[in-house]
Amino acid sequence: MIRISMTRDRDREHFDQGSRMVEPMSALRTLVQAELAFGGEIVEATGTRLTVVTRVLSCVDTTIFEGAADEMAVLNQTVLFYLQACQERDTVMEGVLADLARIPNGQGGVPLIINLAAPMLMGRNRLALATMMALGISEESDIAAGMLMGMDNLLAAYQLMQEFPGMSLADVSAATSVDMAA
C-alpha cells in the first residue's frame, strides 16, 4: 500500500488535507491525473518517497507518495519518463500550441486563457510525450502526430497500432483524422 499525504497553501493559510492508503495503481492514477497533468513539479524522489508540488491558480498543493520500493516502482518509472519528457521543451511546446489552437473562437490566444491553461497544457503534453516514450514510440513523425492528439485519442491510436501492427502512430493519425475543410 502507498500512503498519499496532501497539503494546500493558499493566501498565507496552510490546509492539511490528510492522508490515505491506496493500492499502487490508484496512487499512479492520482499522480498522473491530479498532479502531473496539472503541471506538477517533482521536488523529491528517493525510491520510497515522491513529493510533487502543483501550482494551480492561487494554490500550492504538495502531495507526498510513500511506500515500499517494490510498490513505488510503477510511480518511479512513470516519473522517470515524465522527467525525460520535461527535457523535450520544443516537442512539448508544439503540443501546447496545438492545444491552444484547438480552443474555439480564437480564445487560445487570449493572455488570460494562456495564463490559466499553461500549467495544465504543459502537464498534459509532458504526459503525452512520456506515454509515447514508455510505449516505445520514438520515430519523430510518430511523436509529432501524437503531440497533436488529446490523451484519450493518443491511447486509442496506440490500441489501433496494437491491432494493426504494420501501422505507425502517424499512419493511424492520418487514417483517423477528420478534414475540417470538408
pLDDT digits (tens, 9 = 90+) for 123-161: 788 888 888 887 788 888 998 888 888 777 887 888 888
Of 36-40, 53-57, 85-89, 141-145, which range is least confident? 85-89
Please write the tens of the pLDDT for every residue from 74-90. Answer: 899 888 888 888 787 77
Please write the tens of the pLDDT for every residue from 4-13. Answer: 999 999 998 9
Position 49, amino acid: R
Between 53 and 82, residue with greater pLDDT: 53
3 in helix, strand or coil? strand
| pLDDT of residue 32 exceeding 90 | no
Whether pTM > 0.75 for this model: the answer is no
Burial 73-102 (b: 16+ CB within 10 A, else e): eebeebbebbeebbebeebbebbbebbbee
| pLDDT of residue 118 exceeding 80 | no
- Mean pLDDT for the stretch of residues 98-125: 82
15 closest CA partner among 81, 74, 59: 59
36 closest CA partner among 16, 19, 15, 56: 56
Tell me the percentage of the chain whose pLDDT exceeds 90: 27
Please tell me the predicted confidence (pLDDT) of residue 179. Answer: 52
Please tell me the predicted confidence (pLDDT) of residue 62. Answer: 97
Tell me the percentage of the chain whose pLDDT exceeds 70: 97
| pLDDT of residue 174 exceeding 60 | yes
Q: How far does Cα 100 stand from its chain's mean position?
A: 16
First-residue to last-residue Cα distance in the chain: 52
